[in-house]
Amino acid sequence: MRAPKRAATTLGKRADVRYVEENGRMETFAQTLQWSVDRVDADRTSADGTGADIAIVDTGIDSDRSDLEQNLGEGVAVVPCSDESYCNGCKVPWDDDSGHGTQLATLVGAVDNYEGTVGVAPGATLHAVKVFGADGSGSYSDIAAGLETVADKGWDVANMSFGGSYSSTLYDAIRYADDEGVTLVGAVGNSGSCTDCVSYPAKFGEVIAVSATNRNDSLAYFSATGPEVELAAPGTDIYFESCDASDGYQSLSGTSYAAAHVSGGAGILRAQGYTSDGARTRLRDTAEDLGLSSNEQGYGLLDVAAAA
């Protein structure tokens, strides 16, 4: 009810009235910290990756997301956006017309602005390198061209959450990027359970191969394993804001998302002046042993706070 303050005070003094109070308002809590980002202790360090350039080599990045637009840098479209009907359309050539690249970008470096989620390295500059079309597939040559661009731009980290079979064309680009000092991070693949089935490019020795764990610190059932696995990171029950904000959040799982955590961690170290090799060694040396086999966890679970 509405009443003048004096009337409310008088009403509150009546014996048959328990209390009178202003009808205030409450708000829903915005989800700002993923359980996975918390698990790798990214929120326990003041280092946020400011100064690092992290390339998301994927389907592009949504150029119109409130939790990403602040730290979006230069974009590259080897394969231009083509599906105008998806999400916010093709406002720029490197806009995401699939969704996968945007999901990775939010994990790597979404800003802490009380909207959406917070990434591992919210201070880093994110670069969309669009090498996949709306169907989520891309050719060896297009991927190679994207990686070569990352190297030529002098960017620090390349996240590669995709996989397939061996390609000499791709390997040449991997070696070139590695020689130019790019920290290369790759998802091992979702072909588990298996004992030696890491996909390329994660299988290449120049790439940090990342497996996926779950909330219980066990290997995710879908995660590939093998001697190439170098680090593990959370990859299950990851929440992403749907393209249409009115649809809320969706929960997704995959080694793609595990790799994104490591790319964010690598970006934080590169921002601190670590070389590519130095950052890789530091991530290994500070990883948390989960008690899994080396083929499952490599050196252990990513620990951003310990590394930084």
Q: What is the pLDDT of residues 211-237, one digit of tens each?
A: 999 999 999 999 999 999 999 999 999
The answer to whether position 139 is within a domain reads yes
Instruction: Give me the CATH number covering residue 154.
Output: 3.40.50.200
The Cα angle at residue 56 between residues 44 and 45, in degrees rounded to 5: 10
The answer to whether position 19 is within a domain reads no
Query: 187 and 258 in contact (C-beta within 8 Å)?
Result: yes
The answer to whether position 2 is within a domain reads no
The answer to whether position 10 is within a domain reads no
- Active-site residues, by number, are 58, 100, 256
Range of the domain at 107: 30-307
Task: Supply the DSSP symbol for 46.
Answer: S
The structure's pTM equals 0.89
Least Cα distance to 37 among 147, 116, 149, 119 occurs for 119
The answer to whether position 5 is within a domain reads no
- Model pLDDT, residue 29: 44
- Model pLDDT, residue 17: 79
- Model pLDDT, residue 32: 60
The answer to whether position 4 is within a domain reads no
Q: Which amino acid is at 230?
A: E
The answer to whether position 8 is within a domain reads no
- Model pLDDT, residue 246: 56
**Tens digit of pLDDT for each residue in 4-15?**
777 767 877 888
| DSSP-assigned beta bridge partners for residue 238 | 252
- Model pLDDT, residue 28: 41
- Model pLDDT, residue 1: 65
DSSP string, 89-148: --SSTT--SSSHHHHHHHHHH---SSSS-B-S-TTSEEEEEE-S-TTS---HHHHHHHHH
* C-alpha–C-alpha distance, residues 233 and 162, integer Å: 16
- Model pLDDT, residue 198: 98
Tally of domains within the chain: 1
**Tens digit of pLDDT for each residue in 124-169?**
999 999 999 999 999 999 999 999 999 999 999 999 999 999 999 9
- Model pLDDT, residue 5: 72
Q: Which residues in the chain land under pLDDT 70? A: 1, 3, 8, 24-32, 114-116, 244-248
Average confidence score pLDDT of the chain: 92
- Model pLDDT, residue 250: 85
- Model pLDDT, residue 23: 75
- Model pLDDT, residue 10: 81
The answer to whether position 9 is within a domain reads no
Cis peptide, bond prior to residue 201, ω within 30 of zero: yes
